[in-house]
């Protein structure tokens, strides 16, 4: 099962083109880091970028240096940490609740829709989730009443290490969440003596030894870093809508309900059982899991900035809670809980042809038609797998039903994710850069006018000069204004002075510059992007 899971898990890492903002951003920052050799100051498109710490950038840049710059090396860190998180939960579940519960927890986590998707999309959230999972497992195993002094010390230091690496993955949230849940647990249980088992001195020193050096180094190299990172990116991000990601308080409810598929019905059953469970006098791991889930869910629900992946750290805890229930569930009860999954799959099969109605000027109908075969395969896999799992459950074969359902969920998620590559011409610059290759020359000026395509520098293997556009790079450009062109008038003067230059812009900007009679020659375009060059390319010996 492990080998098959690895094959399915890794099967599409290279196939899909890098898409949209996150995958472009988090592939380009380590690309520039590996190219420049500066491992202290992260830069996006060559511009200082302090929104996140560097651990994933380091890992990805190292992968580039060893294996080359590919789609799979760009996505290696989230895929690897996602899979390691499954193994950590298997070990923790086995130690706390028995081997069967550990296996079920791994199967549930590895097949949950949101967890699987985020392990294969290039963002920082899976790395954060893995190290928080490591901290969670360390706490659970260290505080287990069966743990002797040696085991307690070992696992607490694992927890402190997980917190430090979580901070290096995405900021202070990596230590705030575990500490807050610990305090909440001690308040609920009125067990303040638990603090003596946390090894705060040695653990705190270990935390600082791992987490502090980069923060000190980057602050010395960039005095502007502390105010931006700690105030703007933490306090203001959480308490205000400065990043324009405000969503209502209930935003994460549907994300959770969809993201836990195909285990939704079992989740409710498991939560009811966990709340009704008799509380022991000692450390209660199930209560800790409930508080971990509830606090993190509430914490992000109250935030002024919300994205679907923010609640990802609750999924390992939910997997353990569900697994405990699966060890006692009857086959027929599980079969009934999987029935909604089969109904949803059937509805998906019927709905696939209607995806073409989502077509727009930016995403033509032909791209949705390219996506449809993968969606049919996903819905068909989910329908067939869920029905087989139901039959197994009905016959009392619970273990077989869980395994079939888990692999069905994993395969379905991968097929859905792979289908997105059908939309790649709208979401990625890969295809246009292939057309642009004959026009690229070493050192040629390349402008990005009025916009910034996040995937472009990765595929060009170079940076571009921003024109009349700042967005998330505003802070870096404030401190390095020489790296951009602040207005169109300056750009036009520069453009007219070049013997040969390239530029990318949106269709509206292209029309605007045409009306201003700026000399340009079209190189390639799609519904979202237009590539142009100065009209003197033939005189420079380039391709006409």
Domain-embedded: residue 166: yes
Residue 537 has pLDDT above 50, yes or no: no
Domain-embedded: residue 32: no
CB-CB contact of 466 with 484 (8 Å): yes
Q: Which of 519, 544, 517, 515 shows the shortest CA–CA distance to 532? A: 519
Instruction: Identify the pLDDT of residue 249.
Output: 84
Residues 257, 113 share a domain: yes
Task: Determine the average pLDDT of the residues in 333-356.
Answer: 96
DSSP states of 319-349? HHHHHHHHTT--HHHHHHHHHHHHHHHHHHH
Residues 171, 215 share a domain: yes
Q: Which of 461, 423, 446 shows the shortest CA–CA distance to 505? A: 446
Q: In what order do the strands lie in the sheet with 521-525?
A: 484-485, 465-467, 446-449, 502-505, 530-533, 521-525
pLDDT digits (tens, 9 = 90+) for 165-214: 999 999 999 999 999 999 999 999 998 889 989 999 999 999 999 999 99
Residue 234 has pLDDT above 90, yes or no: no
Cα distance between residue 247 and residue 384, in whole Å: 36
Domain-embedded: residue 254: yes
Instruction: Identify the pLDDT of residue 193.
Output: 87
Task: Determine the average pLDDT of the residues in 471-491.
Answer: 94
Report residue 543's pLDDT band, with 50, 70 and 90 as the boundaries.
very low
Report residue 276's pLDDT band, with 50, 70 and 90 as the boundaries.
confident
CB-CB contact of 494 with 61 (8 Å): no
Residues 236, 91 share a domain: yes
> How many separate domains does the chain show?
3
Domain range enclosing 86: 75-328
Instruction: Identify the pLDDT of residue 74.
Output: 98
Assigned token pair, 175: 């230590």
- The partner residues of 484 in beta bridges, in order of sequence, read 466
Residue 259 has pLDDT above 90, yes or no: yes
**Segment among 476-480, 509-513, 539-543 with least mean pLDDT:** 539-543
Task: Determine the average pLDDT of the residues in 136-156.
Answer: 95
Q: What is the H or E stretch that residue 127 is in? A: helix 125-143
Q: What is the DSSP-derived secondary structure letter of residue 465? A: E
CB-CB contact of 5 with 35 (8 Å): no
**In whole numbers, what is the pLDDT of the chain averaged over residues?**
93
Domain-embedded: residue 222: yes
Residue 459 has pLDDT above 50, yes or no: yes
Domain-embedded: residue 296: yes
Residues 369, 320 share a domain: no
Instruction: Identify the pLDDT of residue 514.
Output: 94
Instruction: Identify the pLDDT of residue 239.
Output: 65
pLDDT digits (tens, 9 = 90+) for 422-456: 999 999 999 999 999 999 988 899 999 999 999 99
Cα distance between residue 330 and residue 133, in whole Å: 29
What distances in angstroms separate CA 492 from CA 344, 524, 534, one per listed residue? 55, 20, 11
Cα distance between residue 113 and residue 94, in whole Å: 23
Domain-embedded: residue 7: no
pLDDT digits (tens, 9 = 90+) for 63-104: 999 999 999 999 999 999 999 999 999 999 999 999 999 999
Residues 347, 294 share a domain: no
* Residues, the chain: 544
Cα distance between residue 179 and residue 299, in whole Å: 13
Residues 354, 309 share a domain: no
Cα distance between residue 138 and residue 203, in whole Å: 12
Residues 154, 214 share a domain: yes
The answer for 147, left when phi > 0, alpha when psi is -120 to 50, beta otherwise, is beta
Residues 274, 258 share a domain: yes
Instruction: Identify the pLDDT of residue 541.
Output: 43
Instruction: Identify the pLDDT of residue 527.
Output: 87
CB-CB contact of 82 with 417 (8 Å): no
> Residue 333 contacts by C-beta under 8 Å, 6 or more apart in sequence?
269, 393
Domain-embedded: residue 30: no
- Higher confidence at residue 78 or residue 230? 78
Residues 352, 315 share a domain: no
Instruction: Identify the pLDDT of residue 437.
Output: 92
Residues 352, 313 share a domain: no
* Domain boundary, last residue among 306, 328, 350: 328
* Domain boundary, last residue among 304, 328, 352: 328
Q: What percent of the chain shows pLDDT beyond 70?
A: 96
Residues 455, 383 share a domain: no
Report residue 540's pLDDT band, with 50, 70 and 90 as the boundaries.
very low
Cα distance between residue 94 and residue 153, in whole Å: 20
What distances in angstroms separate CA 217 from CA 47, 168, 213, 340, one per listed residue? 18, 13, 6, 53
Task: Determine the average pLDDT of the residues in 276-291.
Answer: 87
CB-CB contact of 333 with 268 (8 Å): no
Instruction: Give the largest Cα separation in the chain, rounded.
Output: 84
Residues 440, 401 share a domain: no
Cα distance between residue 338 and residue 357, in whole Å: 30
Instruction: Identify the pLDDT of residue 244.
Output: 55
* Domain boundary, last residue among 328, 358, 379: 328
The answer for 445, left when phi > 0, alpha when psi is -120 to 50, beta otherwise, is beta
Domain-embedded: residue 53: no
Collapse the DSSP code of 313 into the 3-class scheme (helix H, G, I; strand E, B; otherwise coil) and give the result. helix
């Amino acid at each position: 099962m492990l080998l098959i899971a690895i094959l399915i898990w890794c099967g599409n890492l290279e196939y899909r083109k890098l898409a949209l903002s996150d995958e472009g951003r988090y592939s380009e920052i380590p690309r520039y880091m590996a190219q420049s050799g500066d491992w202290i100051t992260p830069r996006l498109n060559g511009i200082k970028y302090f929104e996140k710490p560097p651990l994933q950038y380091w890992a990805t840049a190292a992968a580039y240096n060893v294996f080359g710059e590919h789609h799979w090396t760009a996505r290696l860190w989230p895929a690897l940490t996602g899979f390691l998180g499954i193994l950590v939960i298997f070990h923790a579940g086995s130690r706390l609740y028995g081997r069967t519960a550990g296996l079920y927890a791994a199967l549930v986590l590895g097949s949950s829709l949101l967890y699987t998707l985020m392990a294969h999309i290039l963002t920082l959230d899976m790395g954060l989730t893995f190290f928080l999972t490591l901290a969670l497992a360390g706490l659970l195993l260290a505080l287990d009443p069966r743990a002797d002094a040696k085991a307690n010390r070992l696992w607490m230091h694992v927890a402190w290490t997980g917190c430090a690496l979580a901070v290096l993955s995405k900021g202070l949230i990596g230590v705030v969440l575990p500490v807050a849940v610990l305090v909440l647990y001690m308040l609920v249980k009125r067990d303040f003596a638990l603090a003596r088992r946390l090894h705060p001195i040695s653990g705190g020193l270990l935390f600082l030894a791992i987490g502090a050096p980069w923060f000190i180094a980057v602050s010395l190299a960039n005095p502007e870093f502390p105010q931006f990172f700690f105030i703007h990116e933490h306090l203001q991000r959480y308490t205000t809508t400065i990043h324009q990601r405000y969503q209502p308080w209930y935003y994460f409810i549907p994300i959770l309900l969809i993201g836990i598929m195909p285990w939704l019905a079992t989740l409710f059953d498991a939560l009811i059982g966990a709340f009704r469970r008799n509380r022991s006098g000692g450390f209660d791991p199930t209560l800790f899991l409930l508080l971990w889930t509830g606090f993190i869910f509430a914490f992000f629900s109250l935030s002024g900035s919300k994205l679907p992946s923010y609640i990802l750290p609750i999924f390992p805890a939910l997997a353990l809670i569900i697994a405990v229930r699966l060890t006692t569930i009857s086959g027929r009860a599980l079969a009934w809980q999987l029935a909604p999954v089969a109904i949803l799959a059937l509805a998906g099969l019927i709905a696939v042809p209607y995806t073409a109605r989502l077509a727009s000027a930016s995403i033509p109908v032909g791209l949705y038609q390219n996506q449809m075969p993968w969606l049919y395969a996903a819905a068909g896999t989910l329908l067939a797998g869920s029905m087989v799992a139901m039959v197994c459950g009905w016959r009392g074969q619970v273990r077989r039903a869980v395994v079939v359902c888990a692999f069905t969920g994993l395969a379905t998620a991968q097929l859905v994710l792979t289908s997105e590559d059908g939309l790649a011409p709208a979401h990625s610059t890969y295809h246009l850069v292939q057309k642009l290759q004959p026009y690229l020359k070493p050192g040629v000026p390349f402008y990005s006018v009025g916009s910034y395509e996040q995937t472009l520098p990765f595929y060009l293997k170079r940076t571009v000069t921003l024109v009349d556009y700042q967005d998330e790079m505003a802070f870096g450009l404030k401190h390095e204004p020489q790296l951009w062109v602040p207005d169109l008038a300056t750009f036009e003067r520069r453009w007219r002075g070049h013997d040969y230059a390239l530029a990318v812009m949106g269709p509206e900007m292209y029309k605007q510059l045409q009306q201003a009679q700026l000399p340009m020659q079209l190189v390639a375009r799609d519904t979202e992007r237009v590539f142009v060059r100065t009209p003197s390319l033939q005189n420079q010996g380039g391709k006409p």
